[in-house]
Chains A and B, each alone.
Chain A
Amino acid sequence: QIQLVQSGAEVKKPGASVKVSCKASGYTFTNYGISWVRQAPGQGLEWMGWISPYNGNTNYAQKLQGRLTMTTDTSTSTAYMELRSLRSDDTAVYYCARDPGSGRGFDYWGQGTLVTVSS
């Protein structure tokens, strides 16, 4: 069965960086994009960006450009999301999701990773 399994919760200080992993299984990793979506406590969903595991192409949300890097490791079918210069308003649950493209939406999601930014 298709699964996306994310790394565990993180606590970071303001100004630090965090790197969250998302290991895919049950499908051909390079055939689908991976999008990252975050959700601040009690808030709605915010799309962060997308990466193609096939060729490494990325597309980041404008507000996060300069602080965000997405990568993949096709040998382990794992996607990574790194966010730098963390601020308190980056505190959120971060989700990876499989993105089949063509506007069809995100059909499988990871379980989420809570990142807490606090001094």
Chain B
Amino acid sequence: QSVLTQPPSASGTPGQRVTISCSGSSSNIGTNTVNWYRQLPGTAPKLLISSNDQRPSGVPDRFSGSKSGTSASLAISGLQSEDEADYYCAAWDDSLNGWVFGGGTKLTVL
């Protein structure tokens, strides 16, 4: 069981806006920033959102992140077929003294 909770799947049609949630606790998301990663099949993860809502260089502004209390969300607007991937949230956990990940959400573009 992952420390952070994500829905196992999400879906949308091209052009739609989808959101992926990530729920944690006071020792991780409630206290520390959240990062989001995207993993295409057979490849290494890629940092998508840093520090709750910051897009690294090269990440389109279709991707946005937010955090409130012990939960965070990733929003993808203008959904494209190439957005089909697994998405993971992550945060530092003060109790475990380490990084914790969500179980991942598989996004399907219908």
* Chain A residues engaging chain B, CB cutoff 8 angstroms: 35, 37, 44-47, 49, 59, 61-62, 95, 103-107, 109-112
Q: B32 to chain A: which residues have CB within 8 Å?
A: 103
Q: B68 to chain A: which residues have CB within 8 Å?
A: none
Q: A46 to chain B: which residues have CB within 8 Å?
A: 101
Q: B90 to chain A: which residues have CB within 8 Å?
A: 45, 47, 105
Q: How many A-B residue pairs lie within 8 Å, measured between CB atoms? A: 60
Nearest A-chain residue to B32, judged by Cβ? A103
Residue of B33, B44, B98, B101 touching A103 (CB-CB under 8 A) = B33
What does DSSP make chain B's interface, helix, strand, loop or mixed? strand
Q: Given A45-B88, A103-B51, A95 and B45 touching (CB < 8 A)?
A: yes
Q: Given A35-B99, A103-B92, A109 and B50 touching (CB < 8 A)?
A: no
Q: A59 to chain B: which residues have CB within 8 Å?
A: 97-98
Q: A106 to chain B: which residues have CB within 8 Å?
A: 35, 37, 45, 47
B47 touching A107, Cβ below 8 Å: yes
Among the interface residues A59, A62, A106, which one has the most CB atoms of the partner chain B within 10 A? A106
A105 touching B98, Cβ below 8 Å: no
Among the interface residues B47, B54, B102, B104, which one has the most CB atoms of the partner chain A within 10 A? B47
Q: Given A45-B101, A46-B101, A109 and B46 touching (CB < 8 A)?
A: yes
A109 touching B45, Cβ below 8 Å: yes
A109 and B88 alpha carbons, distance in the complex (Å) = 15
A44 touching B50, Cβ below 8 Å: no
A111 touching B98, Cβ below 8 Å: no
A47 and B99 alpha carbons, distance in the complex (Å) = 6
Q: A47 to chain B: which residues have CB within 8 Å?
A: 90, 98-101
Residue of B33, B45, B47 touching A45 (CB-CB under 8 A) = B45
